[in-house]
Amino acid sequence: MTDNNTINCGTMMYYSLTPNEGITVHYVIEMKDKVDGNALRNAVDTAMKRYPYLGKKIVATAEGYRLEDNDLPVVVRNTHHTIPLCGPDANYHQFTFTYADHTIYLNNTHALVDGRGRSPFLHTVMYYYCKERYNEDVQMDGVNLVDSPIDPREYYDPFNDEIPNADIDLSAALPAPRMAMSLADMGLVHPSPSHTQMHHICLDEKQMMAKCKQNDASPNSAICVILARAIAKLHPDSTEPIIANVGMDPRGALKADLSHHPLATSTSIEFTPEMRDMSFEEQNTIFRGELILRSEPSNMLLGAQAVKKIYADINALPTLEQKLGGVQQILEMALKTRTFSVSYSGKSNYGSCDSHIAALFPQLDFKNIGFAIEITATNGKFYLTISQGWREDVYFNAFLKELTLLGLDYDLLYSAQLEPIVIDIPFA
């Protein structure tokens, strides 16, 4: 194990954090009852005793960012608004908790944790919150309590070790990226870098899983295919490729199942012109088959090796300015190779706390996000956050229409403009 202050597998996410902006996540927990601020404060303080490795301060130097341990309390505040992260307003932490009325928000940099990394910590917080808020004996399988021993694998960074397949010629093993149809350039919307519109819907888990079973689909592949079908119908004469960027998790292949680090990667799969006239089942068979193939451990290791090389190249740049600029170039190119993104963070089981939770929503805050769908599941529902970098709802409405045509019921819970999280990294 290496020291937990080394920036390695989180390199891309850390150097996406620039003054005033960066890749951040709002995780929204809608409770059935009004939030008790004192209980939440106590739950967060207790959970941090179990997860001290999450207390990290970012400090900027002329050469780059460095991490330092941070023992200040995590900010927990009653407000509808976001709090700048990494600076004095957040006690120099990379995450805060805010709450208002019935809603709890965990706001964090994507550099600190990804969806899998966030889950154990949030389960611990909810365990202690519900225990105090409802004065009940909480039942939650597998939850880490304050006296649970910390497994070193929780802060293990696999990119600090040799990754198998290191001797493979990556330029030959991995296909060159292909430019995708850009919804922002198709003439139906007017992109705005300062505006991210969020729509929150939910689907019944049993109905959705039955549809998946009938059509050789997984939740991931089904949502990708449904959105691709909607886009194809809006642009029937376009010859530009509709490419889905799908979130992947290489933890199993890297033997890093417990790691909190942002290990999530992605793969691009094309909804080809030949697929347009196929049945929903045939489209899912192709799409899901590609996802299964990309999920094979050997392919996951190839992808991880390629990412590790990119991160090493970034870390080798001599100045902070060059590191920030290099990452921005990579992100801008990556956005050109996708028509939309879909990420499924998995199903969360909060045990007896589920009876107090009304809904869960991950919300990615990423400039020029384009069109993205993030999925989580709990308590018999799939919750979808649909993000768009424009005000017009043409693609969102087309997606909803496609759900209806396929016999999938949905509830539109609410829509809102995302309030971005400001990044305020102190200089040494």
Could you tell me if 23 and 94 are in contact, meaning their C-beta atoms sit under 8 angstroms apart?
no
Which pTM does this prediction carry?
Answer: 0.94
User: What is the enclosing helix (H) or strand (E) of 108?
Assistant: strand 103-109
Quote the pLDDT of residue 407.
97
Cα–Cα nearest to 216, from 285, 167, 279 = 285
Beta bridge partners of 340: 244
Whether residue 2 is predicted with pLDDT greater than 60 in this model: the reply is no
Q: What is the pLDDT of residues 276-291, one digit of tens each?
A: 999 999 999 999 999 9
Percent of the chain with pLDDT over 70: 96
Quote the pLDDT of residue 317.
98
Q: Quickly state the pLDDT bin for 364 (edges 50, 70, 90).
A: confident
The SS3 of residue 393 is coil
Q: What is the pLDDT of residues 139-150, one digit of tens each?
A: 999 999 999 999
Cα–Cα nearest to 321, from 103, 99, 27, 15 = 15
Long-range CB contacts for residues 292-296, cutoff 8 Å, separation at least 24: 294/248, 294/267, 294/269, 295/248
Cα–Cα nearest to 30, from 349, 356, 347 = 356
Quote the pLDDT of residue 170.
58
Q: What is the pLDDT of residues 170-197, one digit of tens each?
A: 555 566 678 999 999 999 999 987 788 9
What is the token pair recorded at 184?
A: 């922002």
Q: What is the pLDDT of residues 4-21, one digit of tens each?
A: 889 999 999 999 999 878
User: What is the enclosing helix (H) or strand (E) of 375?
Assistant: strand 371-378
Quote the pLDDT of residue 172.
55
What is the token pair recorded at 235?
A: 């642009």
Cα–Cα nearest to 390, from 359, 418, 353, 363 = 418
Quote the pLDDT of residue 348.
84
Average pLDDT over residues 268-273: 93
Counting every residue written for the chain, the total comes to 428
Domains of the chain: 11-141 (3.30.559.10), 177-358+367-417 (3.30.559.10)
The sign of the CA dihedral 46, 49, 51, 54 is positive
Q: In angstroms, what CA-CA distances link 283 with 26, 136, 243, 319?
A: 32, 48, 14, 47
Residue type, 140: M
Q: What is the mean pLDDT of the chain?
A: 93
187 CB-contact burial (10 Å; exposed 0-12 / middle 13-18 / buried 19+): exposed
DSSP state at residue 327: H
Whether residue 313 is predicted with pLDDT greater than 60 in this model: the reply is yes
Q: How far apart are the C-alpha atoms of 239 and 1, rounded to whole Å?
A: 50
Quote the pLDDT of residue 194.
77
Q: In angstroms, what CA-CA distances link 378 with 97, 163, 248?
A: 21, 34, 20
Whether residue 343 is predicted with pLDDT greater than 50 in this model: the reply is yes
Q: What is the pLDDT of residues 71-130, one digit of tens each?
A: 999 999 999 999 999 999 999 999 999 999 999 999 999 999 999 999 999 999 999 999
The SS3 of residue 86 is coil
Quote the pLDDT of residue 166.
54
- The residues near 147 (Cβ < 8 Å, ≥ 6 apart) are none
Q: Which residue has the tokens 């509808």?
A: 80
Q: Quickly state the pLDDT bin for 54 (edges 50, 70, 90).
A: very high
Which of 1-5, 209-213, 377-381 is predicted with the least confidence, judged by mean pLDDT? Answer: 1-5
